[in-house]
Each structure stands twice: as C-alpha cells, then as structure tokens.
C-alpha cells in the first residue's frame, strides 16, 4: 500500500528543513566582528540538540502522512516546539562551547540552517493551528507560552555567546528607548491620520465629487517612495522652523521626528480613508432606510447602526495602516527620526549583520503582534454582525 | 388625518409626483396602487418627510409637516419596507424595542410593550433572543411589522411589505394585517403593485400612474366604476368580474326564498367562495345562514350572474 500525503505543506517544509540541515551552516564563526567567517554545519553542533532537530524533522515528515487532522495537528505542534527548542538551544549551546576555547573577540553568528529550522518550525505550527481551527484564546496562550519559554532560555544565559545577543546587550540601553521612539512614531502617525481621516471620510461620503479628488491625491502620495517623501519634506520644514520660532521650540525641523510623522501620517491616510469609506458606504441601504424611517437622527444612525456594522472594515483599515507604518518608520531613521531603523542602518553602515537583526527582528515582531491583535479585534467585531 | 394638497416632486428634472392631492381618513387601511415608477413610494416617503416635496403641502393630524421636526415626526409614524431592514447586529427583542428606546421609555415600559406586541402578532417568544439572520423571510417581516407597532403609533406606512415573501407567508401576513387593522383602528397607508393584495386589504384605495392620481375611493367603487381605460386595464379587463366576486359578500346577493338547497354557506362569505362551493358540490343553489346558524335565505347561480356589471 502506498502512503498518502495528507499534509503537503508539512512535507514541503520538512524537505526544505532537511536540505538546510544538510547543506547550510548552523553557525558562522569569525575571529572578530569585522573579519570573514567560517561556516559550521549542524552536525558539528552539540549532539543532543542536533539529534533532536533531525529527529524532529523526521517525525514531521512522518506526520505529513497521518490522516487524522486533529491528532496530526497536536502532534505537529509538539514536534515543532521540539525543533524550535533544539535550534535555539543548540545554537546557544554550540556558541558557548566554541567561545570557551577561543579569544573574547570571536563572534558566533546564526547561520542559514538555524533560520530555516526556526522558520520551518514556526510555519508548521501556524499550519497546524489553522488546520485544527484552534480557538482564539488557545492561540493567544500558545504564543504567550512560546514567548515565555524564549525569555526563560534567555534569562538562563543560553544565548549569551551568540553575536546577536552580544550586539543586543551592548545596545541594550538605547534599544528600549529606540523601541519606544519607534512605537511613538507609529502611534503619532496613526493618531494624526485618524484626526484627518475621519473628517475626510465624512467628506467623501457626503460629496460624491470630492471622492475622486481625495482618493486620487491619497493614491499619488502612496506611490511616492518613502525616502523621496522624507527628502521632499526636509526643505519646507527647515524653512518653517527657521522662520517660526515657536515651531522650532516644539522640535519641528527639517530632520528628526517631524517630517517622519508627517510622511507616515500621509501614508496611513489612504488605507484608513479607503476602508472607512467602504465600511460605512457598504452598510446595507435598506437597514439605513429603515433606521431613518423609524426616526433615527444622524447621530443615532451613526453610533447605533453605521459604526457597529462598519467596524470590521474600519479595523482592517487600521490594521493595514498600522502594519505599514511600523515598516515605514524603520526608514525614518535615515532622516534622524530614530526608532528601530537606526540599528538597521547603523548595522548596514558598519557591515555588522547582527546589529541589523537587532533592529529588523523587533520590527517584524511588532508588525506580527499588531496583525495578531487587530485580527482578534476584527474577529470579535465580526461575531456581533 | 393625512392630507396632501397639490404635492409635486421632481428628481433631476423628471416628475416623480405631479400635482397630487389626497385625503386619507383616520382608521382607513388605505392602499396606494400603481405600476412600478408611478410615484406611490415617493408619496409614501413624503408623508414621513424622508423625501421633501418641491411644491404643495402635506398635513399630518392637521399639522403641516414642514413645521415639525422630521426625526420626531418619524418616531410617531410606523414604517415598514419590503426589504425589512432589521438591524443585523441587534437581537429581535432589541430590534422591536428600537423606537421605544429612541423615545426614552423606561425598561419596564419597553418590556411590558414587547410582551403586548408578542401577544398581538403571535411571535414565538423564543425568537426574541435570536438575530435577524436566523429568521425566515416571513418571520423577519412579522418582526418588521412588530417594530413599526412598538411605540404604538396611530399611523403606519408600509412600502410593499409583503412583495418579497412566498405566497403562503404573504397570505398569512395579509390576513394578520387585516385583522390587526380591524382590532386596532390604526391608520395604515399601504403601497403595493399587486391588485389582489390591494383588493384583499383595502378599505379605500388610490390608483396612481406616472406620478398622478388616476382615481381614488372605496375599493368596490373603483372596481365597479373604473375612471378610465388605464384603471380598467390595470385591474385586468377580463378578470375584473372575477375580482368583484372576491369582495362582494353572499349577503348582498342572496334572496329570501326557500326552494330547497342542501349545501350551506355563511352570509359573510364572498361570492367567490359561494361559486367555489357550487362547483365543488356540482349544485347551483346554496342555503345561506348567519353566524348563529339561522337560515336567512338562498343564493343560486343566477343571483351571482345577475349581479354582474357591464364593463
């Protein structure tokens, strides 16, 4: 009897993982931060973790042939957690062993095999969670448990000898302030975009003529590359800050947070206004007609009918705008606005890949977290319709 | 009760309603009928100020509606539309309570009123906690009617409320509306393009065409004396006599004589029911009784035929 593949995604992931384990490098070892590196494959890593990772891949491959969804998904979750642990712990353990026998300047950075195994484990989990239709609360619990486990390992010093961790700890003091700045940039941009987007939406809903002009102009803004928009704002803002002292006192200048917030606000407007517009315009005409005919005034109609029925669309616009702003705020570091992008550009400048990751990984995690939170809000808003 | 004086309304230059005057008495079940695009819905929506008339005056309970706040006006007038328009995110109970809530009624008063409405319209109380999407079309429109009645308005406007329902639900709701009207004495303005529905429900009716009033009056009067060819055609020239059978009671044609009939029919039944019984039993003569079973007289096929009108 030929076995049947019941989960092609899982099988494909395992293949990718196995290729990476065989042909990629698990760690890169370099004598110092700038020197060229030597690749260290997975099979040279500590036996326990290397074996666990390979066994885990093997088990996932077998699971791809399991027919029963529920059982397979639970098993996949467990095995994926094992692979994730083996990759993280293996890398940390490996680096600790190597560094005990080499000078302190030596650097051990994470290699392609490591990243591929982590990605395979996370994707296998995501796939399993979706296939088994895991309840929302359990998904939150799973994410929390994974984060908790990671923090525990980090607290125990498991990663201390990895260069990524070294970069992180040498920038720890400014890391949290840059993270705060990044969130502040995004928060301010979304706040100002809401302040402008709500009246703009009211305008396009009332005046069909304004609709074309507003969406065309917002569309043009959206097509301007972010670096260009940041650049274009420098000259007028410098002039303003030179001529109007009170603006200068507020911290407005050609560079820094002011142009960044303005640009991020402009970029956020299109997704916000477009989704607000469709959300409110698509509230069923008959429901509005009945409400008006019963004596709902404009305010009652908006708060009791249009807003709750348009809420999922409003939230999905807010989701797109937020995720987009989190990504674009990284570029704002180029004009001195700070934020996590500062690490990325500093790392690129110094040719220190690990410093780039100190900025890039939190940006990705922020975007994923924002996505996750908005998905939950949208799901709960939708449940009431 | 409701009066329209030379009302006109144009949309983008085209006349939707032209020089339209009408008086609707309190307690009438008044049917506005006409083909699609004849302006009947526009007239209805001008009565509750959802559309503002370009010219003319509309009076509601003796007051010019221009002098009233449109939102307050609408809270005092029930409104039912074809697509129902229940709020999908509210339970049935919350939907019914919508206007009382707008009017700021206390919880106790709203609750008591919902109990009354549920009883009046025979709504299963298990439906109250459900959401609109969990109800059938007929159930939804019953809730739509309940919602319009909730704040006990003396006037109810209905815009083709049963047009989208299956024939069975439609017939049931029509019958309920008729009995509701008879019991409550409310003024109901009912828009439809369905002649059978109009004849079944109306105490009075107005026929509209191309934005103008063609004829208004009691339904028998319009059937017996159509003002022109349009009304005749609209009522269906050939079927007009048959339609009359539906609305004329046996009492109006029976004779006090005793030839000897076996089958019995109630005096309040329609001629159509009498004819149907004759056909079913293959007899030409029926004995007519009142509600108590007392013999009033007889009706035969010749009595029915003799009552026909030239058209």
Do residues B150 and B293 both lie within one domain?
Answer: no
Residue B205 CB neighbour total at 10 angstroms: 25
Instruction: Give mean pLDDT, residues B222-240.
Output: 83
Which pLDDT value is given to residue B68? Answer: 92
Quick: pLDDT tens for A49-67.
999 999 999 999 999 998 8
Which pLDDT value is given to residue B292? Answer: 86
CB contact under 8 A, A291 and B87: yes
> B45: nearest CA in chain A?
A293
Do residues B263 and B174 both lie within one domain?
Answer: no
Quote the mean pLDDT of chain A: 89
Look up the CATH architecture of domain A172-383: Orthogonal Bundle (1.10)
What's the gap in Å between the CA of A385 and the closest CA on chain B? Answer: 5
**ipTM of the complex, rounded to two decimals:** 0.83
Residue B37 lies in a domain: yes
Which pLDDT value is given to residue B311? Answer: 47
Instruction: Give mean pLDDT, residues A122-138.
Output: 90
Instruction: Give mean pLDDT, residues A292-305.
Output: 91
Instruction: Give mean pLDDT, residues A26-39.
Output: 84
- For A:57-116, CB contacts with B below 8 A are none
Q: Is the pLDDT confidence value at A311 over 60?
A: yes
Instruction: Identify all chain A residues contacting B76, using CB atoms and an 8 Å cutoff.
Output: 295
- Measured CA to CA, the distance from residue B34 to residue A348 in angstroms comes to 76
Residue B241 lies in a domain: no
Q: Is the pLDDT confidence value at B84 over 50?
A: yes
- Measuring CA to CA, which residue among B280, B228, B205, B238 is closest to residue B34? B205
Total domains in the fold of chain B: 2
Q: Is the pLDDT confidence value at B307 over 80?
A: no
The CATH number for B169's domain is 3.40.50.300
Do residues B7 and B140 both lie within one domain?
Answer: yes
CB contact under 8 A, B89 and A308: yes
Do residues B152 and B30 both lie within one domain?
Answer: yes
Do residues B172 and B291 both lie within one domain?
Answer: no
Domain boundary pick from B236, B267, B291: B236
Name which of A289, A300, A308 is nearest B85 (Cβ-Cβ): A289
Entry pTM = 0.77
CB A301 within 8 A of CB A289: no
Quick: pLDDT tens for A76-129.
999 999 999 999 999 999 999 998 888 888 889 999 999 999 999 999 999 999
Name which of A286, A295, A304 is nearest B75 (Cβ-Cβ): A295
Do residues B143 and B97 both lie within one domain?
Answer: yes
Residue numbers of the domain that contains B261:
248-306
Write down the domain spans for chain A. 8-169, 172-383
Q: Is the pLDDT confidence value at A18 over 80?
A: yes
Residue B277 lies in a domain: yes
What's the gap in Å between the CA of A79 and the closest CA on chain B? Answer: 42
- Measured CA to CA, the distance from residue A26 to residue A42 in angstroms comes to 5
- For A:269-298, CB contacts with B below 8 A are 284, 286-297
Do residues B107 and B81 both lie within one domain?
Answer: yes
What does the H/E/C string look like for chain A?
A: CCCCCCCHHHHHHHHHHHHHHHHCCCEEEECCCCCCCEEECHHHCCHHHHHHHHHHHHHHHHHCCCCCHHHHHHHHHHHHHHHHHHHHHHHHHHHHHHHCCCCCCCEEEECHHHHHHHHHHHHHHHHHHHHCCCCHHHHHHHHHHHHHHHHHHHHCCCCCCCHHHHHHHHCHHHHHHHHHHHHHHHHHHHHHHHHHHHHHHHHHHHCHHHHHHHHHHHHHHHHCCHHHHHHHHHHHHHHHHHHCHHHHHCCCCCCCHHHHHHHHHHHHHHHHHHHHHHHHHCCCHHHHHHHHHHCCCHHHHHHHHHHHHHHHHHHHHHHHHHHHHHHHHHHHHHHCCCCCHHHHHHHHHHCCHHHHHHHHHHHHHHHHHHHHHHHHHHHHHHHCC
The CATH number for B302's domain is 3.90.1280.20
Do residues B275 and B159 both lie within one domain?
Answer: no
Report the percent of chain A where pLDDT is more than 70. 99
Residue B296 lies in a domain: yes
Structure tokens at B76: 């005092």
Task: Name every residue in B having a CB less than 8 A away from some CB of A.
Answer: 45, 48, 50, 71-76, 79, 81, 83-89, 98-99, 102, 144, 147-148, 157
What's the gap in Å between the CA of B99 and the closest CA on chain A? Answer: 7
Do residues B220 and B268 both lie within one domain?
Answer: no
CB contact under 8 A, B85 and A291: yes
CB contact under 8 A, B72 and A295: yes
CB contact under 8 A, B99 and A295: yes
Which pLDDT value is given to residue A254? Answer: 73
Domain boundary pick from B189, B208, B236: B236
Domain boundary pick from B184, B202, B236: B236
Q: Is the pLDDT confidence value at B238 over 70?
A: no
Quote the mean pLDDT of chain B: 90
Highest mean pLDDT: which of A197-206, A216-225, B154-163, B289-298? B154-163
Quick: pLDDT tens for B67-78.
999 999 999 999
What's the gap in Å between the CA of B70 and the closest CA on chain A? Answer: 8
What's the gap in Å between the CA of B241 and the closest CA on chain A? Answer: 38
B310 confidence band (pLDDT: 50, 70, 90): low
């Amino acid at each position: 009897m030929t076995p049947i593949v019941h989960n092609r995604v899982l099988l494909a992931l395992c293949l990718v993982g196995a290729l990476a384990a065989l042909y990629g490098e698990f760690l890169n070892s370099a004598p110092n931060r700038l020197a060229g590196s030597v690749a260290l494959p997975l099979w040279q890593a500590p036996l326990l973790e290397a074996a666990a990772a390979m066994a885990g891949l093997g088990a996932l491959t077998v699971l791809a042939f399991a027919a029963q969804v529920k059982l397979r998904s639970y098993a996949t979750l467990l095995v994926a957690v094992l692979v994730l642990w083996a990759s993280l712990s293996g890398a940390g353990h490996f680096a600790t062993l190597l560094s005990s026998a080499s000078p302190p300047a030596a650097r051990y950075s994470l290699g392609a095999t490591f990243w591929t195994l982590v990605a395979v484990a996370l994707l296998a989990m995501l796939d399993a969670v979706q296939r088994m239709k895991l309840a929302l609360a359990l998904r939150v619990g799973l994410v929390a448990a994974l984060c908790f486990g990671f923090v525990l390992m980090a607290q125990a010093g498991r990663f201390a000898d990895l260069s990524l961790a070294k970069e992180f700890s040498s920038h720890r003091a400014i890391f949290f302030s840059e993270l705060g700045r990044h969130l502040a940039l995004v928060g301010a941009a979304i706040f100002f975009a809401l302040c402008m987007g709500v009246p703009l939406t009211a305008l396009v809903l009332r005046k069909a003529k304004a609709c074309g002009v507003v969406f065309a102009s917002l569309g043009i803004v959206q097509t301007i590359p972010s670096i260009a928009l940041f650049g274009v704002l420098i000259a007028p803002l410098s002039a303003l800050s030179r001529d109007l002292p009170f603006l200068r006192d507020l911290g407005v200048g050609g560079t820094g947070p002011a142009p960044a917030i303005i640009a991020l606000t402009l970029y956020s407007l299109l997704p916000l206004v477009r989704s607000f517009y469709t959300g409110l315009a698509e509230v069923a005409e008959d429901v509005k007609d009945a409400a008006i005919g019963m004596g709902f005034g404009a305010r009652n109609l908006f708060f009791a009918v249009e807003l709750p029925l348009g809420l999922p669309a409003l939230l999905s616009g807010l989701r797109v705008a937020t995720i987009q702003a989190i990504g674009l705020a990284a570029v704002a570091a180029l004009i001195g606005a700070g934020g996590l992008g500062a690490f990325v550009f500093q790392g690129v400048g110094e040719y220190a890949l690990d410093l780039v990751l100190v900025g890039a990984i939190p940006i990705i995690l922020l975007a994923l977290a924002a996505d996750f939170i908005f998905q939950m809000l949208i799901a709960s808003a939708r449940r009431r319709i | 009760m409701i009066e329209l004086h030379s009302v006109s309304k144009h949309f983008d230059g085209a006349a939707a309603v032209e020089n339209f005057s009408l008086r609707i008495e309190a307690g009438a079940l008044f049917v506005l009928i006409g083909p699609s695009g004849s302006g009947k819905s526009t007239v209805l929506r001008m009565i509750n100020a959802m559309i503002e008339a370009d010219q003319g005056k509309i009076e509601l309970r003796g007051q010019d509606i221009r002098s009233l706040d449109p939102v307050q006006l609408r809270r005092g007038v029930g409104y039912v539309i074809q697509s129902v328009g229940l709020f999908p995110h509210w339970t049935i109970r919350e939907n019914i309570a919508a206007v009382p809530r707008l009017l700021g009624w206390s919880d106790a008063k709203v609750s008591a009123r919902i109990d009354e409405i549920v009883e009046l319209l025979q709504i299963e109380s298990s439906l109250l906690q459900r959401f609109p999407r969990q109800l059938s079309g007929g159930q939804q429109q019953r809730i739509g009617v309940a919602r319009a009645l909730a704040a006990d308005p003396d006037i109810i406007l209905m815009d083709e409320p049963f047009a989208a329902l299956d024939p069975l639900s439609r017939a049931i709701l029509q019958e309920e509306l008729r009995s509701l009207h008879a019991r409550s004495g409310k003024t109901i303005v009912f828009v439809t393009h369905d002649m059978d529905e109009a004849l079944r429900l109306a105490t009075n009716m107005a026929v509209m065409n191309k934005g103008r009033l063609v004829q208004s009056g009691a339904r028998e009067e319009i059937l017996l004396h159509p003002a022109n060819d349009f009304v005749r055609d609209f009522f269906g020239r050939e079927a007009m006599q048959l339609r009359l059978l539906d609305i004329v009671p046996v009492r109006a044609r029976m004779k006090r004589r005793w030839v000897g009939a076996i089958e019995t029919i109630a005096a309040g039944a329609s001629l159509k029911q009498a004819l149907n019984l004759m056909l079913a039993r293959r007899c030409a003569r029926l004995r007519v009784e009142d509600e108590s079973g007392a013999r009033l007289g007889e009706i035969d096929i010749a009595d029915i035929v003799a009552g026909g009108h030239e058209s």
